[in-house]
Structure 1
Amino acid sequence: MELNTLELRYVEIGALAQFKPFIGKEVRIGEYSLAVFRTSDGKLFALENRTPHKKGGPLTEAIVSGHAIYCPLRDLHISLEDGKVLEPDTGEVQTYPVVIENEVVKIGLPETIALG
């Protein structure tokens, strides 16, 4: 799912070195729990930290494969780029834009959320 980029504010979540390749990291911002992944090519992706399965569960323990992850509980294959579950399954999770400025990682969040 895409957010309207005109209504985002970018929030610092840490130094680039804190995000290791292939390991999901939970980042909490106000009421949001995000799963941040760094791929082998150095790209960072942020998703809602909840599987799209009706029973839910965290995504931070997912296995990274290219620009996708495998859900640890339901074995759903989820694209890191757009949050869509790959066929033959269905569903999606919210994704958030990530930028890196001077080795600092920032995530774009809706301006309407409370940062706590």
Structure 2
Amino acid sequence: MTQVKQKVFVANFEELRPRIGREIMVDGSKIAVFRLLDDRVKAIGGVCPHKQGPLAEGIVSGEYVYCPLHEYKVSLLDGKVQEPDDGCVATYETAIEDGKVYVLV
């Protein structure tokens, strides 16, 4: 049985600055949303698996975000922490419709 996903409004696309994260709360969970330099929008769990750093405040480089606490490198594509560190965060689908950005949860 397929679960229907909730579409959560994040922001108007033009309000998202490239490489600057935005944190949203959905049902008590933090989600970090990023606009990449090529205008793709990616969303991942907003808390680093290492020491619970706020990933939306991290530095984006390419398709990765660096946790602001201890520089764990987290993929914005699959949520995996780059070796030699380990861990992962959830990833979420995003949609852009009529200039509005949504996260599907």
TM-score by length of 2: 0.91
Structure 2: segments with no counterpart, 5+ residues: none
1:17 alignment counterpart: 14
Q: How many residues align?
A: 103
> Which runs of at least 4 in structure 1 moved beyond 2 Å after TM superposition?
none
Q: How far is 1:32 from its partner?
A: 2.2
Q: Which residue of 2 aligns with 1:69?
A: 65
User: Deviation digits for residues 23-80 of structure 1, max 9, x if unmatched?
Assistant: 1111123312211111111111111110010x31211111101111111111111100
Highest RCO, 1 vs 2 (Cα 8 Å, sep ≥ 6): 1
Inter-partner Cα distance in structure 2 for 1:11 and 1:26: 12
Q: Among the aligned pairs, what percent are the same residue?
A: 41
Query: Normalising to structure 1: TM-score of the pair?
Result: 0.83
Which blocks of at least 5 consecutive residues in structure 1 are unaligned?
Answer: 1-5, 110-116
Instruction: Report the RMSD for the aligned CA atoms in angstroms.
Output: 1.2
Code of the residue aligned with 1:32 in structure 2: it is S
**Correspondence list, 1:1-116, <5 A:** 6-7=2-3, 8-53=5-50, 55-109=51-105
